[in-house]
Amino acid sequence: PKLIYAASSGFGHSGPYSKRAAYDAVVQAMGGIMSITGQKDGKPTRVGTSIGDIAAGMFTTTGILAALINRDATGKGQKVDVAMLDCQVAMLENAIARYVVTGEAPKPGGNRHPSIVPFETFDTVDGEIMVAAGNNALWTKLCEAIGTPELSDDERFNENPLRNENYDELRPLLASAFTKKTTKEWQDILDNAGVPNGPINTIDEVLKDPQVLAREMIVEIEHPVAGKLKVPGVPIKLSDTPGGIRTPAPTLGQHTEEILK
């Protein structure tokens, strides 16, 4: 009666799809994520990582922890049933709210936030930069930092709903300003102004990023076949019991004899 049994599957243990097979790409498609991902007016696009798999694993872990807490209180175990499709639907965030309010199914919007302006990428002299001015205070700081303080007081742009309404007028003005400096120069300027921003890093750049390295998010392990490998570290930092990646995933059958003893 104290047993906690967790099961993670494509569609869960109930409903008309419960017997169907699934992979990450399938639930990304069916769960609506692909329909809002990609460039504006472009085709639905699969997210670049297996978020369907990852999210299901994370929600399953949360479910197990909740079941453990309940068992501590009641002495009873239970089944934890997690479906990949359910997890994708749970991650739709404001897309469902936008549909409920407008009656129109959201579509891919590129790198632009659907309701906050400016909250997107801009071209620089040597690349692109992501800028997230999520409120009016940050909007004012951004305008001052990029040398266009007059925009913050402009009646067309001084509130977020107005910036959305007049986006086609505002976007070129901001884009023009960002083409005057490099990405790194804008990073320094916006950091000093307190405006959230960041470069669009490639994977090799992520592996060399000083913040990523300082947080030990890239670690080196010894693999019995491949030798030394760099892998992602543990993103949860516990003060008293820090975890770590010490061994690679086992090779096929590596622990069979040990388990059967």
User: Mind listing the pLDDT tens digit of every residue in the chain (261 residues)?
Assistant: 899 999 999 999 999 999 999 999 999 999 999 999 999 999 999 999 999 999 999 999 999 999 999 999 999 999 999 999 999 999 999 999 999 999 999 999 999 999 999 999 999 999 999 999 999 999 999 999 999 999 999 999 999 999 999 999 999 999 999 999 999 999 999 999 999 999 999 999 999 999 999 999 999 999 988 899 999 999 999 999 998 988 888 889 989 999 998
Tell me the CATH number of domain 119-200, given options 1.10.3720.10, 3.30.1540.10, 2.60.40.10, 3.40.630.30. Answer: 3.30.1540.10
**pTM for the complete prediction?**
0.88
Which CATH code is given to the segment(s) 5-102?
Answer: 3.40.50.10540
Identity of the amino acid at 120: E
Task: Respond yes or no: is residue 53 known to be catalytic.
Answer: yes
Tell me phi and psi for residue 4, to 5 degrees: -110, 120
Q: What is the total residue count of the chain?
A: 261
**Residue 86 near residue 62 (C-beta atoms within 8 A):** no
Residues of the chain with CATH 3.30.1540.10: 119-200
Q: How many CB atoms lie within 10 A of CB 8?
A: 18
Separation of alpha carbons 50 and 27, rounded Å: 10
Select from 91, 80, 71, 109 the least CA-distant residue to 27: 91
- The predicted pLDDT at position 73 comes to 98
The ranges of the chain annotated as CATH 3.40.50.10540 are 5-102
Task: Extract the tokens encoding 187.
Answer: 């990073």
Q: Which of 53, 72, 81, 191 is catalytic?
A: 53
Tokens of 101: 């309010």
Torsion angle, alpha carbons of 94, 99, 102, 103, to 10: 180
Task: Please report the pLDDT score of residue 249 as a whole number.
Answer: 87
Closest CA to 24 of 70, 66, 85: 85
